[in-house]
Structure 1
Amino acid sequence: MITRQLNFTIISRLLYQRSIRVIKIHSFRNEHHLFDQSTEADNASITRSMLCYLHKNLPYQSLQIFKDTLRMGFSGNVDEVMVALALKACRSELKIGCQVHGYAISSGFVSYTVVANSLMNVYSKNGQLESALCVFESLCYPDVVSWNTILTGFQKSEDVLNFALQMNMNGVRFDPVTYTTILAYCSDHEDFLFGIQLHCLIMKFGLDCEVFVGNALISMYSRWDRLLEARRLFDEMPKKDLVTWNAMISGYTQEGDHGLEAILLFTEMVRGRMELDHISLTSAVSACGHERNLVLGKLIHGLTMKLGYGTDVSVCNVLISTYSKCDVIEDAKLVFQAINKRNVVSWTSMISLNEDDALSLFNDMRLDDVYPNDVTFVGLIYAISVRKLAKEGRTIHGFCIKTGFLSEQNVCNSLITMYAKFESMGDCLKFFEELNCRDITSWNSLISGCAQNGLYQKALQMFLVAVTKSKPNNYTFGSALSAIADAEDISLKYGQRCHSYLIKLGLNTDPIISAALLDMYAKRGSIHESQRVFDDTPRRSQFAWTAIISAYAGHGDYESMIKLFNEMEKDGERPDSVTFLSVLTACSRKGMVEMGRLIFDSMEKRYHIEPSPAHYSCMVDVLGRAGKLEEAREMVRMIPGQPSLSSLQSLFGACQIYGNVEMAEEIAEDLLALEPMESGPYVMISNLYAEKEEWEKVSMIRRIMKNKGVKKEVGFSWVDVGVSSCLHGFSSGDKSHPQSEEIRLIAKCLGSEMKRMSEREEEHLLMLGNLSNNTTDRTKVDIVKKQASTYEEIEAEHEKDQRLAMAKRCSDEGVKAGAKAAVVATIATAIPTLASVRFLPWAKAHLNHTAQALIISTVAGAAYFIVADKTVLATARKNSFNQANTNREA
């Protein structure tokens, strides 16, 4: 009987050994069957079986063997190694781990260091760090593995570093695992010096030849953007594994500026016949997305299919992102459909990619039992904001409240931006005030929203508060400078103060800041300051080049603009759509038709940039100003979708100039159909009929405007007075200024005095004999007389309710009131009033009839506020004083 039992034990052992070979060829069918049939088993066979299952990543089967060992009465054969393996098998099962912990305590195995280490690993992996520390403190002689196990359980880098210092103080010598763990947590720039010290210790003890230590060092330097040091370590490593290559390629793709280096390294990896995994492929695909290299991205996509990663969710997610960056939406959708089990990243990528179908995709995501995260809501809110779906936006806001996502700061910031996009600044400000926590992005969103909606004073006010409440960044200053640039009622002195503060903080050379400063100075008329900022920028980004080109284009210096455009190409910066828009606008104003055609054609052929409706509008203006009306009309038909308002207005203006009434009437119908509630098209059509002296049609247009409730927008002009940064705004019919009566009287007297001076100028020219022989000079005098007369007619008509006619709007020419005030203020400051009157022939050539009257009236107003001919001003003051006394006596 004993012999038979012994023989069965030997056979069972042999069968266990055979089962190990079966396991190695991926077959586990008979393992439990053999174990159940055995009546006795030794420690070695049980341990080997548990190890085999763990090596094949089958922890539940390994745990089942331990459980069956106890159930079948083999508890006497259980040792500390089996308990440790059982704890390793239940790393993701905290409840079972606690049960094994209880068994270890009852059986006395908890005092073994190997068991305690496995037990700490279970607790730390499941977020129970306090329980792990309790086990650690119960150890009499913790080894280096015990310390390393606790190190891996910390979440914050400062806790890891402090525990490592405590470990060193206790005389525990670091091993490669210790260094690897600590280096993984040295991610912040504040830990840079500590990481350098660790690197020195690694070299001192000769551990830099360890592959996984070198991998950790490469990852650490990559996180700090020290890619030169990382590459040097990579090249010096005597032995590299797959993780080494992945770490270096991932380091290149983290910042997005070294995509080409990542692609070259991946190519070298493939040529060396290195093994590739999903991390290698995702890094390479991500690099193609950064470089916008669609061809190479598709090649790597084919490689992923060949290697069997075509449906891997992590690889597919990066492929979707790459195709979206390359504007290949259909391919991104195909990749999304190929994913077997989509996760939250997959759905979020598609929601961010498909603005039109974002809501339906979000509903499909919920039906697929995938719970959204904060990034999902950010993408969804952005899609709703772009489409301006106010009702759906408020619904998503309520859903965020219900699901508790308002605790996420980025979701709150997206909601601020959303309400600003909806032009609902009341809701935007209310929501901002209700926030419990505001970061600098919250302030940036609010400042930018106020600036976009024309609340420039509010934007400046919020900026001043943000500087005191939070630490401003480049986007904060960029939004504030944008508000100052576009605001006519904010003094340039605020922009100069902001510039000084940026220099103090050392942010003036930032690419975003320098571009914003360039734009601000250019829009406020200081092109020389814009050039100085550009010259002081050490690293000229695409934004800086575009800003300085736009600045010179806006100031009419087209030669400098074209020169800078050519220098931009030589400097290696690719122009974007905004750059081309500025250049085409300059070509339009300068009348450079052939240059405009070449630049427009090069957008698609050379730079692969699809022209937008704005680019087509510029080309329509280029052709229209040159009298090529049929070509301009054909260009309007080429605009994708519906023709824009600006393109039709440009063509209409060209038809007016060149007398093509038939085409103008066709364009007029399109304008009214496109914008039935805008005053601009009605005014343009009315002026067209007025030039043809068809007064009945003029009256009809005015009646239509009145019946539809279309009102012409009131324009404003601003004058900066003194050094107090105080600006005075003027509009037609406004009597709010405290000195309005005095201004009106002085303006009236100045008009009479200017008329008298123009008559003197005419007599002077007649005495010189210029009028009889020179038609141009005669025309100049007629223009001067006409302007003065026109001004008196306007002044007489609005004598009762107009303080100053300097805000008369010139909508026909599209001249902004602020720009007109700046021009006139410059003239009035730089030259005497008589020279200002001589300036009127230029106004006749560039402005319409109403604008000419504005020039005269604004010069008169500027004389009161800034500098004018002292004799004229004294006479005007004297006459206005006498007129005021007469009115008082009456």
Structure 2
Amino acid sequence: MVRVLSRHLIKLNLSNLSRHYHSNHLQLQQQHNLSLPGSLSLFEYQRQQLQLLEAQLIYVLDRCNNLAQLKQTHAQLLRKYLDQSSFVLTKFIRVSTKLNVSIGLYPRLVFDQVRYPNPFLWTALIRGYSILGPFDESVVVYNCMRRGGIRPMSFTFSALFKACSGLFNVGLGRQLHAQVVWIGGYHDDLYVSNTLIDMYVKCGFLECGRRVFDEMGERDAISWTSLIVAYTKSRDMEAAAELFDGLPDKDMVAWTAMVTGYAQNAKPKEALKLFESMQDAGVNTDEVTLVGVMSACAQLGAGKYARWIRDVAEKAGLSPARNVVVGSALIDMYSKCGSLEEAYRVFQMMEVRNVYSYSAMIVGFAMHGRVNEAMSLFYEMGQTDIKPNKVTFIGVLTACSHTGIVQQGRQIFSNMDKDYGVAPSADHYACMVDLLGRAGHLEEAYELVKTMSVEPHGGVWGALLGACRIYKNPEMAEVAAKHLFELDPNDIGNYVLLSNIYALAGKWDDVSRIRKLIRTRGLKKNPGCSLVEAKDGVIHEFFAGDMTHPKSKEIKEALEELLQTLRLEGYKPILSSVVHNLSDEEKERLLKTHSEKLALVFGLLTTSPGSVITIVKNLRICEDCHIVICGASKVTGREIVVRDNMRFHHFHDGVCSCGDFW
């Protein structure tokens, strides 16, 4: 300040300054709160004038909205001889960063002209690089700062740790962590500790972040929430729940992190339960929270929860009609809960639509086998300014696959890049392989895989393997399975599917070989599981072969009665649905305990006559269960909706919406 002031005094006409001082002394006192007893020295007056000038420039900088205005202000700064003022230039660089002005060009040139930058100015430059990049340049600047004998501030380290996060360089972060300890004074700083935790977490070193957290003398909501988010992301929900329970003051961010974490880690029941507690605690809800809880509801396929969440959104002022994020998520939720008509009503009422809302509705139509509606909406989208994205085409190609519309699917796939600028990804190839394979074009599907423009992933080979099951082609199945075993050796589903294909072909030696391989690798098969909603809205879970439900006796009796009725209608068990080398009697016994049959009968026993029964299954519905549920819809007069891991089946009056093509 003394150097700047001395230089500034030389430039002034001292006699004019003296006259200006005496004439404006009272005005300065009143307007700028500079009242001092007695008369001020000329030096003191000049110091205060300098402060006023700096304050004026800070005010102007705060209101700069673009680079042109920033340059005009810089010109003023030069004209007023404040090109050495670290105070003003710190603000200049921070505003440059906010306006996304490349730090390495204009702001860096301004900085380099300052002979004695203070720690604030150094930190502003470091921070600029840590936000806009190049990130490693922030460390270079820090080294220059230290060589100049300048002591860093807490904000210096916060910016540096942010740069390390951007670089994903935990080694550099650890060196800077050591600097914090060695320099001293900042290790207990809350802001430094929080950014240090964030750095370790983003670099994947959760335990290091947890140790920093445990050593903190003071913690705030950011400290707790950073770790909660990181344990949710690493799928360690138990550790995340432990942290969440210990959080003294739980804000919306912390609640949302947990709700979303449960939803993303396939724990929808826990997500919904926690969201209910969040509502009871009176915590505000935003669109991020709602998207997370809608995802959980979609996983369960629970209509009761869907209606409740819709009400919460409306009460929170987040109407799907006006909020495109909530509206799109609601479309997805209703579609996956089996309420396709309600999903379409939400779509129609939306005042603003984007590619996500269109894509969600197209995917919804596709999973329900409504190919005409999906195509119609796709072409309607083409009449707007909204361009389809990758998800849109996945929805359209899936619709074609579920209804066997091969030629139209081929045309859309070939025109994706040419007409819409969307290059096919491995996911789009998987849709096409599925479409061709389901329609019986196995050789064409295999040729498409061999000529792909991108590397095929597990979804591509899995689609081919699934087609081999439908058309009983063990030779091609072996090719697809070989690639799948290399890509994901621990996915038991691929081994089971190949084993089933061998079983359908009567190759029991190969079945034994695959099952031995499963045992050798210690893989565990996921049991068939079906969810159904009772009249009171409670979700009941049934597992294949598990008769421990409180109503198991009633379910068994009612199932026998239903099957007897269906036998009179011509039903015969599809014994090939059991892929074990057992007697026919034993196979029939196993078929009776498939989870979807148990869920169906429970639904018939516990829901109101005439109401829709919705079942959600984790695996593909077997052929025998499909026939039984189809027959049940006729003899009971009930509409039955089954969502398996591939699509929706709507059974009504003995007919399924899939047309027996699934």
TM > 0.5? yes
CA displacement, residues 796-851 of structure 1 (integer Å, 9 cap, x when unaligned): 63899998534379xxxxxxx99x9999999x95899xxxxxxxxxxxxxx99943
Match of 2:490 among 677, 696, 699: 677
Cα 1:795–1:505 change in 2 (3 A) is farther
3-state SS of the aligned residue for 1:718? Answer: strand
Give, as a single letter, the amino acid of the residue that structure 2 aligns with 1:513.
V
What secondary structure, in the 3-state scheme, does the structure 2 residue paired with 1:341 have? Answer: helix
Deviations 1:207-238 (A, max 9, x none): xxxxx5xx87x67xx8xxxxxxxxxxx9xxxx
Map 1:266-281 to 2 at 5 A.
none
Question: How far is the alpha carbon of 1:414 from its aligned partner?
Answer: 2.7
The answer to whether 1:363 aligns with 2:135 is: no
**Contact kept in structure 2, 1:747 and 1:804, CA below 8 Å:** no
Tell me if the contact between 1:730 and 1:804 (Cα under 8 Å) persists in the aligned partners.
no
Work out the CA distance in 2 between the residues paired with 1:393 and 1:705.
Answer: 33
Q: What pairs up with 1:37-56 in 2 under 5 angstroms?
A: 51-52=9-10
Paired position in structure 2 for 1:805:
594
- Give the aligned partner of residue 567 of structure 2: 755
For residue 432 of structure 1, the aligned residue among 239, 244, 247 is 244
Q: Does 1:111 align with 2:69?
A: no
Q: Name the CA distance, whole Å, in 2 between partners of 1:720 and 1:413.
A: 34
**Partner Cα separation in structure 2 for residue 367 and residue 639 of structure 1:** 50
Partner of 1:536: 349
Residues 38-187 of structure 1: pairs in structure 2 closer than 5 A: 51-52=9-10, 110-112=37-39
1:867 CA drift (Å): 8.4
Match of 2:28 in 1: none
The higher relative CO (CA closer than 8 Å, separation ≥ 6) is in 2
Q: How many residues align?
A: 568
Alpha-carbon contact 1:805-1:854 (below 8 Å) kept: no
The aligned residue for residue 522 of structure 2 is 709
**Residues 66-110 of structure 1 deviation map (CA, whole Å, 9 limit, x = unaligned):** xxxxxxxxxxxx99989xxxxxxxxxxxxxxxxxxxxxxxxx985
SS of residue in 2 equivalent to 1:676:
coil
1:748 deviates by 1.1
Decide which of 332, 354, 360 is 1:519's aligned counterpart: 332
Q: Is the 8 A contact 1:561 1:583 kept in 2?
A: yes
Cα separation, 1, equivalents of 2:371 and 2:328? 19
The structural deviation recorded for 1:352 is: 4.4
> Secondary structure at the residue paired with 2:490?
coil
Partner deviation per Cα, 1:603-634 (whole Å, 9 max, x = no partner): 66666666544333223323434555455445
Residues 498-545 of structure 1 show CA distances to partners (whole Å, capped at 9, x for unaligned) of 212322332113222111211111111111111111122212233322
Distance (Å, rounded) in 1 between the aligned partners of 2:404 and 2:639: 35
Alpha-carbon distance in 2 for matches of 1:850, 1:496? 31
1:625–1:109 CA distance, 2 compared to 1 (3 A)? closer
Q: Is the 8 A contact 1:285 1:319 kept in 2?
A: no
Q: How does 1:244-643 map to 2 (within 5 A)?
A: 285=100, 304=105, 308=109, 336-337=136-137, 340-341=140-141, 347=160, 350-354=163-167, 357-363=168-174, 365-366=176-177, 373=192, 376-377=195-196, 380=199, 383-384=202-203, 389=204, 392-402=205-215, 407-467=219-279, 468-488=281-301, 491-508=302-319, 509-593=322-406, 595-596=408-409, 599-600=412-413, 612-629=425-442, 632-633=445-446, 635-636=448-449, 643=456
Q: What letter is aligned with 1:663?
A: M
Alignment of 1:9-28 (within 5 A): none
CA distance, structure 1, for counterparts of residue 556 and residue 499 of structure 2: 30
Q: Superposed, which structure 2 residues align to 1:31-42 within 5 Å?
A: none
Q: Which amino acid aligns with 1:480?
A: V
**Which stretch shifts more, 800-809 or 514-523?**
800-809
Alpha-carbon distance, 1:349 to partner: 5.9
Q: Distance in 2 between matches of 1:116 and 1:858?
A: 96
Structure-2 change in CA distance of 1:663 and 1:278 (3 Å)? same
Q: Distance in 2 between matches of 1:639 and 1:428?
A: 41
Report the alpha carbon displacement of residue 753 of structure 1 after superposing the two structures with TM: 2.4
1:279-315, Cα deviation, whole Å (9 max, x unpaired)? 89756656xxxxxxxxxxxxx899x489957999979
Q: 1:736 to 1:683 in 2, by over 3 A?
A: same
Report whether the alignment pairs 1:856 with 2:656: no
Aligned AA for 1:360?
G
Question: Matched residues in 2 for 1:563 and 1:824: separation?
Answer: 39
Q: Distance in 1 between matches of 2:166 and 2:412?
A: 30
SS at match of 1:712: coil
Is residue 2:478 matched to residue 1:665?
A: yes
- CA shift, 1:445, in A, is 0.3
Describe the shift of the 1:858–1:570 C-alpha distance in structure 2 as closer, same or farther (beyond 3 A): closer
Instruction: Give a deviation string over 1:358-378, Cα, whole Å, max 9, x none.
Output: 323423655787988477447
Question: Against the structure 1 CA distance between its residues 714 and 789, is the aligned structure 2 distance closer, same or farther, given a 3 Å change threshold?
Answer: closer
Cα distance 1:538–1:682, how it changes in 2: closer, same or farther (>3 A)? Answer: same
Q: Compare CA radii of gyration and give the structure with the larger one.
A: 1
Q: CA–CA distance in 2 between the matches of 1:452 and 1:864?
A: 38
CA change 1:799–1:634 in 2 (3 A) is closer
Same amino acid, percent of matched pairs: 27
Alpha-carbon distance in 2 for matches of 1:376, 1:601: 48
Letter in 2 for 1:856: V
Q: What's the TM-score once normalised by structure 2's chain length? A: 0.69
| Contact 1:805-1:857 within 8 A present in 2 as well | no
> Structure 1 pair 638/418, CA: closer, same or farther in 2 (3 Å)?
farther
Write out aligned runs for 1:878-889 (5 A). Answer: none
Structure 2 runs not aligned, ≥5 long? 23-34, 75-91, 114-121, 143-155, 614-618, 641-662
CA contact (8 A) 1:80 1:114 kept: no
Gaps of 5+ in 1: 1-30, 33-46, 56-77, 83-107, 126-144, 153-176, 185-211, 223-233, 235-239, 248-276, 287-299, 323-331, 759-783, 810-816, 833-846, 869-890
Query: Alpha-carbon deviation of 1:496?
Result: 0.8
Equivalents in 2 of 1:732, 1:742: separation in Å?
17
User: Could you say if the C-alpha distance between residues 660 and 725 of structure 1 is closer, same or farther in structure 2, counting changes exceeding 3 Å?
Assistant: closer
CA distance in 2, matches of 1:120, 1:671: 75
Contact 1:648 1:667 in 2 (8 A): yes
Q: Is the 8 A contact 1:419 1:427 kept in 2?
A: yes
Contact 1:624 1:632 in 2 (8 A): yes
Question: Do the aligned partners of 2:531 and 2:541 also contact (CA within 8 Å) in 1?
Answer: yes
- Does structure 2 retain, via aligned residues, the 8 Å contact 1:519–1:547? yes
Q: TM-score, normalised by structure 1?
A: 0.53
Secondary structure at the aligned position of 2:351 is classed as: coil
Alpha-carbon shift at residue 429 of structure 1 (Å): 0.4
Instruction: Name the stretch that deviates more: 437-446 or 706-715.
Output: 706-715
Q: Deviations over 1:431-467 (max 9, x none)?
A: 1111123210110000001112222222112112222
In 2 relative to 1, CA 749–544 (structure 1 residues): closer, same or farther, beyond 3 Å? same
The equivalent of 2:544 in structure 1 is 732
Give the distance between the partners of 1:628 and 1:670, measured in 2 at CA.
Answer: 20
* Counterpart-to-counterpart distance in 2, 1:739 and 1:48: 92
Deviation, structure 1 residue 399: 2.3
Report the CA distance shift for 1:671/1:790 in structure 2 as closer, same or farther (over 3 A).
Answer: closer
**Root-mean-square deviation (Å):** 5.5
CA distance in 2, matches of 1:360, 1:452: 30
Tell me the residue number matched to 1:242.
Answer: 69
Task: Specify the code of the residue in structure 1 equivalent to 2:463.
Answer: S
Q: Secondary structure at the match of 2:532?
A: strand
Structure 1: distance between partners of 2:44 and 2:622: 88
2:644 — aligned with what?
none
What SS does the aligned partner of 2:141 have? coil
2:555, 2:602 within 8 Å by CA — same for their partners in 1? no
Residue deviations 1:246-280 (CA, integer Å, cap 9, x gap): 89xxxxxxxxxxxxxxxxxxxxxxxxxxxxx9789
Q: Distance in 2 between matches of 1:435 and 1:806?
A: 40
SS across alignment from 2:296: helix
